[in-house]
Chain A
Amino acid sequence: MKLKCAKLREPALLAVVSLLVISGWPTTENHSHSAVAAPRTGKASRARTAGGRRTKPPTFRLPPLKTPEQKLRLLELFRQSMPAFQIGRHVQFTSRDLDTSLKISIGKPSYLFARPVDDTTFCRRVYLDVIGRNPTPRELLAFERDTAPNKRAKLIDRLLETEEYARKWAHYWREVVFFNSAANKNRVNPQAFEDWLAEEFRKNTPWDRIVAKMISATPKSNGKLPNGKPDVGQNYGPNNFVLACENKPTQIASQTARIFMGISIQCAECHDHPFDRWKRIQFHQMAAFFARGKYYMPDQDDPAKKHLVKPKFLLGEEPPEVVANNPDARRVAVAAYLVYNPDNYWFARAFVNRVWNELLGDGFYAVDSLGPDAEVIHKLLVNRIAAVFRYRQFDIKWLFRLILNTETYQRGIRTIDSEDEYFTAVRPTRLQGPVVVANLNQFAKVPAPVAREIRSVFRFDPSIPQRDLEGSIQQALLMMNHPALQNSLRNSPLKKRLLQIADPKERVRQAYLAVLARHPTSAEQERGMRLFREAGNPAAGIDDLLWVLVNSTEFVTKR
């Protein structure tokens, strides 16, 4: 491994630190000492520290790692030692390259791919994906009128700089972490988590730094908060990943693998995995990183017995004793093995796959895949994207730009049944509650209790493949009959505006623009006018039309 350490003030430490990823973790408090291989046993370590006071041999004590800042400072050294970061500056991989590779990998003739979408559809889609709401009629029409040849790329760039982008994706990750969390509500603060993530996404903090912060956190209990809830550090955003796992080693281990590596290992808590490479012992070795003290694995047959297990990362990396015996250092070590290990391509790929899954409607594998290599489609391509993502130092917006600018992303929708059709078209997907609320609020003022109800009834687990999500009767009943929702439609600013438009044709057009963010087709225009006539008076006609549009599949779908 070739390292460029010149810029670092602590080359010796860096050199040592870089070894951790491969073998062990020797480090010294006194940076002027030269690096020496780590002591392999606790006994050796004690013998040396007890030794010569006069000559002061190299010591192997860890740097202080109590505070998040101390941990992050050390992790930052690992970061700078990443070979990928050093060699990757000149690697080029464009949206065109992606399209070309994917087309070859899919291996179907061009006419089997869906056609590129028009500007209107693109505009609506990219607004929904990047910032979580429809474009307003004004934004939509302005985009249509724009004559710049690169206006799609420009729009993507602009949306990625908005506060709404940071919010939408912070909310997404909050749901990923909290959707199935069983943690007591008084001991977590999902909002603080989301706020922190939004801040990081706004600054475009690289993904590795964000995750390193979550994984290395060791929240401490500290009395009570002013509101009477226990203070377990939940108001510090990054602590909430660990807290959502109830601070339990087994849960942190399985969630770390699931969310950040796309590997499902929880079955291995109880038995060797039947279809996969993971062994029960590996699960518990992973969990051992997250224990406060020593970690014991329960005996498989006799619940009264248990066995001491030492931490070892899923891919086989073992920290030296001095690290293994220190809870704070263990967290830093596991974060480093997860994020900065050149062999761990799962880390970058899991992020790529989740973002791709949200944008295209399908992943290269289910986001909570059963095994490390099970059923990855177009594997070479996704590995390539993941590799370049790492070369780009986990630059999140780079990844968004890469995907959003592809032809693949900008194709029309299709109902996709089989895997070999994936990515020949975009899968239309269900909008999550906050997006439905935001879209309603653009033309009707939805009262807060209704908004809450919509958010809960339209809440989907973001880790379930989107093709498997189901609508519910409650959703239909709510959209059709909720008295307060209907009331806000009947008294909406949009209705007032439409009532002032004399031409029924224009009235229909404005309704479609405001509700569905597109123009009506000529058949729809005709039909709208027919509906107005049937309804008798303009107010009733508008009520009917808004009801129809709001209850349509399209209103709750990304197309």
Chain B
Amino acid sequence: MTSWEPMLHVRNAASLEGRNPAALSRRGFLQAAALATGASPFLNALRIHAAEIRRKGKACILVWLAGAPSQIDTWDPKTGTPNAGSARPISTKVPGIQVAHYWPKMAQTIDQVAILRTVRGKEAAHERGTYHLHTGRRLGTPEKHPNFGSVVADKLGDPDFDLPNFVSIGQTVSSGFLGVRVAPFIVDRAGELPRNVKQLVSRAQFARRLRYLQEQEAEFAAAGAEGLVAEHQTIYQRAVRLMQSPRLKAFQLADEPQHIQKAYGSSPFQKGLLVARRLVEAGVPFVEVRRGGWDMHNSIEQRMPPAAADVDQGLSQLLRDLKQRGMLQNTLVVCMGEFGRTPKINSRTPAPGRDHWARNFCILLAGGGVKGGRVVGKTSRDGTEIVDREIQVEDFFQTWARLMGIDPDEELYTPSGRPLKIVDGGTPIQEIL
């Protein structure tokens, strides 16, 4: 079998000929054989494919700081108030913008970054905040809303792409009513292949199995299950394509130059950011990278430096790397957690910390057409009030959708036929668009 052709058209073919078991099995046989031998037209097909992805353009990397980082110890530092805690404001590359001293490297790339300082959340519990900031909706309605990454995968992803259109390094919110097609493809450990993509037997044995599987399927299709069989085959073909995709290498770091790996750093999170860049480069439109450890109810002064250093190095390098590769213009980077932390320092043991606070917190955006070197919103001197430009979570989602080239008013349909807008209410933040 030298032609890759039948494979690329399988979706249409399946729907057209789905009721003809003989055609199905013949086609299936060809596909299986083509898959198993991995002929060279494969690569040509992929190149055409990649060009198409690039034409669609936009991608997004969401850096999720799970546990909710303190706004005062990150992008809204204070001085001259007990609420400042141990954080000191430092100057950045952009005159007039200050960040907390834990972030010296980000300070030097702040010209790429827009800081939203006055986001007002409604949820101050982890699960609810995580849902709100991932979906733009509040938890507690009968339907499960999709992770915004799933919306992006649905709207911008190519359904025939051989990698998943939404990859998450670490757990995240599900695709909700959008279903398994655009569900986050979870990778447990950055730098490793996703689960179950490794072929366990020799190439020849695997090819034999697939061939016999196709024959087996023909029988069941003829018995009346041709619809399910056709879909099953499509899914198996996509799974095998993923297993044998040269792009799988994007999940690993082996062929990434040492100096780049070093620049990102060697922590799991930092590796995750590098993998995210590689996946976006390979054509994945949405990648989420999770970094936990921000729920600092106690010992915030002790826990902040290592956590911040990890993200400071990785995130600043990600922005630099994307810029150097000419990818920053089309790749939006968002960095946030589920809410903020109390400006007031508590008196917990062994050392004080900050508790949950959703009344004002920060979201950071860069690339993807965002105007960098900007700060939106202002909080009071002690950090407890918004004094200028309150931003609702829905405003942020309006902005996010627009930056991705997605119409926020477009309606998605739940399985029961209920139309729901991609973003419910809010107005885009014009200052950064």
Chain A interface residues (CB < 8 Å from chain B)? 114, 180, 182, 184, 246, 248, 251, 254-255, 258, 264, 266-267, 366, 368-370, 412-415, 417, 425, 428, 430, 461, 463-465, 468, 470-478, 480-483, 486, 521, 523-524, 527, 531, 534-535, 540, 544-545, 547-549, 551-554, 556-557, 559
Contact = CB atoms under 8 A, between A and B. Distances in A.
A414 B208 CA distance: 29
B142 A544 contact: no
Nearest to B238: A473
B127 to A, nearest CB: 7
Contacts of B415: 368, 461, 463-465, 468
Given A470-B231, A486-B200, A477 B140 contact: no
- In this complex, which of A461, A472, A524 has the most chain B Cβ atoms within 10 angstroms of its Cβ? A472
Contact of A531 (B195, B212, B235, B236): B212
B36 to A, nearest CB: 13
B141 A266 contact: yes
Contacts of B127: 184
Interface string B209-224: 1001101110111011
A415 B213 CA distance: 20
B229 interface: yes
Contact of B219 (A478, A483, A521): A521
18 contacts: A182-B141, A267-B418, A412-B224, A415-B19, A430-B228, A471-B235, A473-B185, A477-B242, A477-B243, A481-B198, A482-B196, A483-B200, A486-B200, A524-B219, A527-B212, A547-B209, A554-B216, A557-B220
B253 interface: no
A413 B225 contact: yes
B231 A413 contact: no
Contacts of B219: 521, 523-524
Given A527-B212, A547-B209, A548-B212, A554 B225 contact: yes
B144 interface: yes
Contact of B199 (A248, A481, A521, A545): A481
A258 B233 CA distance: 34
Contacts of B216: 524, 527, 548-549, 552, 554
Contacts of B194: 477
B183 interface: yes
A476 B235 contact: yes
B232 interface: yes
Contacts, number: 156
Nearest to B179: A470
B140 A428 contact: no
Interface of B: 18-19, 127, 131, 139-144, 164, 179-181, 183, 185, 194-200, 205, 208-209, 212-213, 215-217, 219-221, 223-229, 231-233, 235-236, 238-240, 242-243, 415-418
A475 B212 contact: no
A420 to B, nearest CB: 16
Contacts of B181: 470, 472
A180 B144 contact: yes
A425 B227 CA distance: 14
Contacts of A415: 18-19, 224-228
A415 B418 CA distance: 27
B74 to A, nearest CB: 28
Nearest to B231: A471
Given A255-B142, A477-B195, A472 B180 contact: yes
Contacts of A557: 220, 225, 228
A368 B418 CA distance: 11
A559 B235 contact: no
A552 B142 contact: no
A556 B231 CA distance: 13
Contact of A553 (B19, B228, B238): B228
B224 to A, nearest CB: 4
A554 B183 CA distance: 25
A480 B231 contact: no
Contacts of B235: 471-473, 475-476
Contacts of B416: 264, 366, 368-370
Given A413-B223, A461-B415, A248 B140 contact: yes
A540 B205 contact: yes
Contact of B208 (A114, A184, A535, A559): A535
Contacts of A266: 141-142, 418
B110 to A, nearest CB: 37
A474 to B, nearest CB: 8
Given A464-B415, A477-B197, A559-B225, 6 more contacts: A182-B141, A370-B418, A415-B227, A415-B228, A470-B181, A480-B196
A432 B194 CA distance: 24
A431 B356 CA distance: 43
Nearest to A368: B416
Nearest to A274: B419
B130 to A, nearest CB: 12
A481 B208 contact: no
B200 A481 contact: yes
A370 B144 CA distance: 17
- In this complex, which of B144, B200, B221, B242 has the most chain A Cβ atoms within 10 angstroms of its Cβ? B200
Contacts of B141: 182, 251, 266
B187 to A, nearest CB: 12
B346 to A, nearest CB: 22
Contacts of B226: 415
A549 to B, nearest CB: 7
B212 A544 contact: yes
Contacts of B236: 476, 480, 551
Nearest to A486: B200
B192 to A, nearest CB: 14
A370 B417 contact: yes
B329 to A, nearest CB: 31
A474 B235 CA distance: 9
A134 to B, nearest CB: 15
A462 B418 CA distance: 18
A264 B143 CA distance: 12
- In this complex, which of B143, B196, B197 has the most chain A Cβ atoms within 10 angstroms of its Cβ? B196
Contacts of B164: 473
Nearest to A267: B418
Contacts of A251: 140-142
Given A370-B417, A473-B239, A425 B140 contact: no
A540 B212 CA distance: 14
7 pairs of A and B residues whose beta carbons are closest in the complex: A415-B227, A476-B239, A477-B196, A472-B180, A413-B224, A553-B232, A481-B196
Contacts of B185: 473-474
Contacts of A478: 195-196
